[in-house]
Chain A
């Protein structure tokens, strides 16, 4: 079956530009997570949705980062006024469970801010 998909796969943005990253989770999965992975590092948690409710956004690095999942399926991570330090791979994961176990990851969006 189809896994988690993310688009675009690569994004180059000029500093100050707004970007939107899309995640299509596995159909029927309740939980959706966003992670940020810097080069050579492990993923770091950004935010968590249970259906359409954003239950935790404690990992978002600044108020320039915003995520939504309005209908409980597709999610969008938006970064306003991008900075060079935002350059990273942004990973989306979904899980059929509300406890966050068994997370399936998408391929990620590689963001480069120039």
Chain B
């Protein structure tokens, strides 16, 4: 049972464009939603995270939009650069403690073309 569904599986965007990656969840106990960036041969690196009481959060060129009623959230990368080419994972964590760890989406392989 996939608790966090991520799309698209892969995405190609021209430099300067705004790639958008979407995630949907079912478990209403989730209350923390981070995005991770992973380069080949490296571990995931935390980019930005949001809680359900906020509809949008910006950190640098990265923005999370959150729709609690639809149980969906998305990552936008402004002014994308070739160095942003990586695999991006959304994730979710249930409230009340971290004992069950993060639940990850399957990832989006993003390519930013020069």
Contact = CB atoms under 8 A, between A and B. Distances in A.
Given A91-B44, A95-B98, A97-B98, A42 B32 contact: no
Interface in A56-114: 56, 58-59, 91, 93, 95, 97-108
B46 A55 contact: no
Interface in A1-60: 4, 31, 33, 35, 40-46, 48, 50, 55-56, 58-59
Contact of B45 (A55, A105, A108): A105
Contacts of A100: 32, 93, 97-99, 101-102
Interface of B: 6, 32, 34, 36, 41-46, 49, 89, 91, 93, 97-107
Contact of A101 (B42, B43, B49, B104): B49
Interface of A: 4, 31, 33, 35, 40-46, 48, 50, 55-56, 58-59, 91, 93, 95, 97-108
A42 B101 CA distance: 13
A43 B42 contact: no
